[in-house]
């Protein structure tokens, strides 16, 4: 009788162990990577087996997709002053133009029936010059609004936060993370504000320079000026973007860019951003 009890106990223990092992093997971590290098990051962030987001971030490009592979956000590499973006199904062409010593960036909403080719972009932009620029800004605003309503984009932001806060992956150590971090940072600002600000907001008539404002040397910098030069929403620091909560030239330039005109691709999707290099719109 005692031997039967012992045998039953052993069998029950084995079944429990197998059950626990089986369950644990089916539970995947929310964040996983296929590739994680300084040049390229490819990963998945899942909220459940059927809800999640795929992301691919390189030093000068970014792709965000559903688990089924449907494109949500895509920003291509800059080629000959042009960058192609797809935001929630709408294609945009970003053009950088040099006017004397200044560089101006223009965003063009591309009609759905148009076919973009790299060898005819100048001609294509020429045909769009008669369309008022505020029309393109309106289409961008509508597209970004649709983007922020997607559950996958919220997961994309959570993935960027988890990479920084849980895995301590910083943008200065992994330049490939910067496009993901800076874009997620901007989208997180929209979630905090619950809406897009006006297309042109001026919080400060003139930008602050290192030689005339000592607050830039503080950590965090310029708290009386919404922490100008800090990477993050207002004075909420995303330390994993540049490695700390101090002033960075790239963060400063991006802050000025967004204060002048928020509704533009260079502000919302700041690819080409580097922590210690000048950034402008």
pLDDT on residue 208: 46
In a domain, 1, yes or no: no
Alpha carbons 183 and 57: distance in angstroms, whole number: 11
The 10s digit of each residue's pLDDT in 164-175 is: 999 999 999 999
C-alpha closest to that of 105 among 277, 274, 271, 276: 271
Per-residue pLDDT averaged across 9-33, rounded?
Answer: 49
In a domain, 276, yes or no: no
In a domain, 22, yes or no: no
The 10s digit of each residue's pLDDT in 254-266 is: 999 988 877 899 9
In a domain, 66, yes or no: yes
In a domain, 4, yes or no: no
C-alpha closest to that of 201 among 264, 245, 145: 264
The 10s digit of each residue's pLDDT in 4-13 is: 544 444 344 3
**How many H helices and E strands in the chain?**
8, 8
Task: Using DSSP, state whether 140 is helix, strand or coil.
Answer: helix
Q: Are residues 171 and 240 in contact, defined by beta-carbon separation less than 8 angstroms?
A: yes
Residue appearing with tokens 């709408």: 90
Q: Which domain holds residue 123?
A: 31-268
Which band of pLDDT confidence, cut at 50, 70 and 90, is reported for residue 215? Answer: confident
* pTM listed for this prediction: 0.81
pLDDT on residue 28: 52
In a domain, 43, yes or no: yes
Q: What is the DSSP string of 198-232?
A: PS---S-SS---GGG-GGGGSSS--GGGT-TT-SS
Tokens of 163: 């990479």
In a domain, 5, yes or no: no
C-alpha closest to that of 164 among 239, 236, 269: 239
Alpha carbons 55 and 233: distance in angstroms, whole number: 22
In a domain, 278, yes or no: no
Which band of pLDDT confidence, cut at 50, 70 and 90, is reported for residue 104? Answer: confident
Domain total of the chain: 1
Alpha carbons 159 and 120: distance in angstroms, whole number: 37
Per-residue pLDDT averaged across 219-227, rounded?
Answer: 82
């Amino acid at each position: 009788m005692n031997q039967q009890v012992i045998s039953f106990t052993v069998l029950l223990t084995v079944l429990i162990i197998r059950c626990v092992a089986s369950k644990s093997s089916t539970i995947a971590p929310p964040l996983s990577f296929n590739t994680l290098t300084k040049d390229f990051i490819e990963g998945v962030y899942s909220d459940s087996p059927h809800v999640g987001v795929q992301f691919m971030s390189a030093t000068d490009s970014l792709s965000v997709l559903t688990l089924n592979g449907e494109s949500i956000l895509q920003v291509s590499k800059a080629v000959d002053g042009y960058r192609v973006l797809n935001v929630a199904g709408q294609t945009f062409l970003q053009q950088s133009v040099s006017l004397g010593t200044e560089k101006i960036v223009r965003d063009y909403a591309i009609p759905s029936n148009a076919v973009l080719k790299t060898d005819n972009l100048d001609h294509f932009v020429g045909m769009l010059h008669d369309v008022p620029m505020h029309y393109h800004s309106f289409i961008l605003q509508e597209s970004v609004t649709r983007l922020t309503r997607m559950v996958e984009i919220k997961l994309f932001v959570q993935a960027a936060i988890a990479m920084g806060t849980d895995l301590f992956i910083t943008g200065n150590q992994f330049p490939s993370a910067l496009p993901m971090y800076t874009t997620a940072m901007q989208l997180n600002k929209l979630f905090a504000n619950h809406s897009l600000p006006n297309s042109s907001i001026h919080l400060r008539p003139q930008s602050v320079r290192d030689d005339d404002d000592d607050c830039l040397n503080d950590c965090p910098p310029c708290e009386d000026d919404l922490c100008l030069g800090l990477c993050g929403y207002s004075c909420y620091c995303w330390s994993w973007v540049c490695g700390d909560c101090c002033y960075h030239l790239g963060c400063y330039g991006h802050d000025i860019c967004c204060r002048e005109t928020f509704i533009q691709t260079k502000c919302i999707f700041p690819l080409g951003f580097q922590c210690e290099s000048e950034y402008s719109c």
